[in-house]
Amino acid sequence: MKVPGRVCVADGLSTRADAADASREALESVADRIGANPDLALVFITPHHAAQAHRVLEDLRGILGADVVVGCTASGVIGAGREVQSGPGLAVWSARLPGTRVQGFHLRLEETEEGNFVRGWPEVGPDVSAVLLGDPFSFPVEPFLASLRREKKAPTLVGGLASGATRPGGNRFFMDDRVFDNGAVGFVIAGPMRLQPLVSQGCKPVGKPFVVTRCERNVIYELGGAPAYDGLGSVLAEMDEDERRRFSRAPQVGLRAASDPGSKDGSGGYLIRGLMGVDRRSGAVAVTDHVYKGLELQFHTRDGASAHEELQSLLALASALNPESEGALLFCCNGRGVDMFDSPDHDVGEVRTFFPGVPAVGMFAAGEIGPVLGQPYLHSFTASLGFLVQAAGG
């Protein structure tokens, strides 16, 4: 039961097939523990409930009555220690945050003669925390994040891309008393509470790092003054057969500015991107992002074992630094879960191991948002988390 004047967080999950039954089950469970009219409610629903999105929203307003409501559709939802990747699911995370300002927003792309602009972003700076849920079909997430990086105004930002549809207009987004099928939604918190990010990219570096010495857009021609393909070949030659097999399944590269010594958010300072292909004739290597001369590059391999080890290591550090976390939000790539690990409920299970009793809710995303060296990026195959903790001096 809630204690007046104190931070209170509760989560709820339902796997019932009927949207009305599911929303009542999850919401009443949350309301019993947090009380009516909390400051914030975050909800994720699977496509099974998308047609009843307005009904879910009505129940959110009627049963819980949160001041700010945000949410979206997802291929799978996370809550109550479970990861629901198949079948219907509805997960709710709600918080009462005394003294903390919570502001919801809906972002939309506006096309004008002068160019395209994102409207609806609140006037905030790096001293606040935010969650962003974007539509992969109608909202330019990576260009938007790049603009925040250029302006150096990005708040601590976590979130993900809605994964509840395979076509434009198929996703649903909640923002207070409205349901949208495009754009992005989210919320900002400012005051004595903040979100402490954790980005687990699930990769292990292999071989030595290189410096990009010649490139164009996303194609790398030279590493350290030699053909990029030769650099890749030297790394492969040092691997044993098992390592080469794992690398060939999902080859990755880590990119970072050569001046960056590492990262406080657990990413090692690397931005992980996929290796698209190689051209032996030209010696070129193509990756899934634009690169520039002077970047440091290190090849990475991704598998369940390395992802498990990295997540455990980062959670152990996070629990030591912030043992009094009040809640957690978890955005997992839809390629994780049972597709990556031997057992279900892996990522949320690890969160509960290191943060027992902490309400943790989230979704399987089509892309995850989290910081690298303090700046927001769009990731893949990542677990991006935000832990609700006391702000410094709060």
3-class DSSP state of 25:
helix
Q: Which of 155, 162, 161 is nearest to 195 (CA)?
A: 155
Report the C-alpha gap between 38 and 66 in whole angstroms: 5
Q: What one-character DSSP code corresponds to residue 391?
A: P
Report the C-alpha gap between 276 and 99 in whole angstroms: 48
In the structure encoding, which two tokens stand for residue 350, read together?
Answer: 């690890």
pLDDT at 90: 98
pLDDT at 266: 41
pLDDT at 301: 87
In which residue are the tokens 């302006």 written? 151
pLDDT at 196: 97
- CB count, 10 Å around CB of 5? 9
Q: Residue ranges per domain, the chain?
A: 8-200+307-390, 203-302
pLDDT at 45: 98
Residues of the chain with pLDDT under 70: 1-4, 259-268, 393-394
In which residue are the tokens 């080859």 written? 251
Q: What are the C-alpha distances in Å from 214 to residues 92, 210, 260, 376?
A: 48, 12, 20, 26
DSSP output for 234-254: HHHHHS-HHHHHHHHHS-EEE
Taken in order 163, 168, 174, 179, is the CA torsion positive or negative? negative
- Per-position b or e across 21-40, b if 16+ CB within 10 A of its CB: ebbbbbbebbbeebbeebbb
What residues does 361 pair with on adjacent strands? 329
| pTM of this structure | 0.89
Q: What one-character DSSP code corresponds to residue 162?
A: -
pLDDT at 250: 81
Residues sharing a CB contact under 8 Å with residue 42, sequence separation 6 or more, in sequence order = 70, 71, 92, 93, 94, 131, 187, 329, 361
pLDDT at 394: 59
pLDDT at 199: 95
pLDDT at 265: 43
3-class DSSP state of 134:
strand
Report the C-alpha gap between 103 and 287 in whole angstroms: 37
pLDDT at 393: 62
Among the four given CATH numbers 3.40.190, 1.10.760, 2.40.30, 2.60.40, the one describing domain 203-302: 2.40.30
How much of the chain, in percent, has pLDDT values that exceed 90? 77
pLDDT at 264: 40
Report the C-alpha gap between 190 and 391 in whole angstroms: 9
| Residue 22 backbone dihedrals phi, psi, to 5 degrees | -65, -45
